Chains A and B, each alone.
Chain A
Amino acid sequence: NAGVMQNPRHLVRRRGQEARLRCSPMKGHSHVYWYRQLPEEGLKFMVYLQKENIIDESGMPKERFSAEFPKEGPSILRIQQVVRGDSAAYFCASSLATGELFFGEGSRLTVL
């Protein structure tokens, strides 16, 4: 039973490029969460999705960031026109309707 799978594990982008981070939830999980962790800081909630729906995006920056969780395929966190301040670890987690979250190993974005 595979856990939460995130890829890529490491991504390097130059300023102005786009970054796409993918997350496949655990089998049977319909709830997906994205968190960002800046160096030496805590986890910050970004967005909560269910299949084909964004439930809560209150933690998403208003510009350049978007997320989706299509009917088929992984959840995608997309960052357009990346800036150095976007360098961080991006963690995805999934859960059932209730209960604990299970995390992927994270995607580490470095913007040069």
Chain B
Amino acid sequence: RKEVEQDPGPFNVPEGATVAFNCTYSNSASQSFFWYRQDCRKEPKLLMSVYSSGNEDGRFTAQLNRASQYISLLIRDSKLSDSATYLCVVRTSYDKVIFGPGTSLSVIP
């Protein structure tokens, strides 16, 4: 089993839609969780950290379920500029940082 798995995608959604991405991780000792976005041929950039209580940043909401080892990202009112690959990232207790394979999102006019 891969250490971090994500929805395979791609997701093609119209502007204004709500889209949800799912991620699971295998190491129960993982300590920190993040969502990054990567635009084509660019470096990954932090979108948001994920906290146990869940957290929201504008149109983006992240949830963490430690018991199920599951992380989610919800994007509301999708914009064209949201088109990118979204990466689920897990940092283990020994500081190894693992990226999921990514889920591609295309927001269509």
On chain B, the residues within 8 Å of A105 by CB distance are 42-43
On chain B, the residues within 8 Å of A101 by CB distance are 46, 89, 97
- Cα–Cα distance between A101 and B87 once the two chains are bound (Å): 13
Cβ 8 A contact of A91, one of B43, B46, B102: B43
A42 pairs with B99, CB closer than 8 A: yes
Q: Report if A12 contacts B (CB, 8 A).
A: no
- Cα–Cα distance between A48 and B95 once the two chains are bound (Å): 8
Closest to B3 in A: A45
Interface string of A39-76 (1 = CB under 8 A from B): 00111010010000001101000000000000000000
| Interchain nearest-CB distance for A64 vs B (Å) | 22
Closest to A95 in B: B97
Q: Known A98-B32, A100-B46, A100-B49; judge A45-B41 contact (CB<8 A).
A: no
B32 pairs with A99, CB closer than 8 A: yes
Q: Known A98-B32, A99-B32, A100-B49; judge A43-B95 contact (CB<8 A).
A: no
On chain B, the residues within 8 Å of A55 by CB distance are 94-95
B99 pairs with A100, CB closer than 8 A: no
The total of Cβ contacts below 8 Å across the A-B interface reads 53
Could you say which interface size class chain A belongs to?
Answer: 20 to 34
Closest to A43 in B: B99
Interface string of B67-109 (1 = CB under 8 A from A): 0000000000000000000010101001111111110000000
Closest to B6 in A: A42
Which B residues from 40 to 62 make CB contacts under 8 A with A? 41-46, 49
Q: Report if B34 contacts A (CB, 8 A).
A: yes
- Cα–Cα distance between A19 and B18 once the two chains are bound (Å): 44
Interface string of A67-99 (1 = CB under 8 A from B): 000000000000000000000010101010111
- Which A residues contact B (CB, under 8 angstroms)? 31, 33, 35, 41-43, 45, 48, 55-56, 58, 89, 91, 93, 95, 97-106
Interchain Cβ contacts under 8 Å between A and B, 18 examples: A33-B97, A42-B87, A42-B99, A42-B100, A42-B102, A43-B99, A43-B102, A45-B97, A45-B98, A56-B94, A56-B95, A58-B96, A89-B41, A93-B97, A98-B31, A99-B49, A100-B49, A105-B42
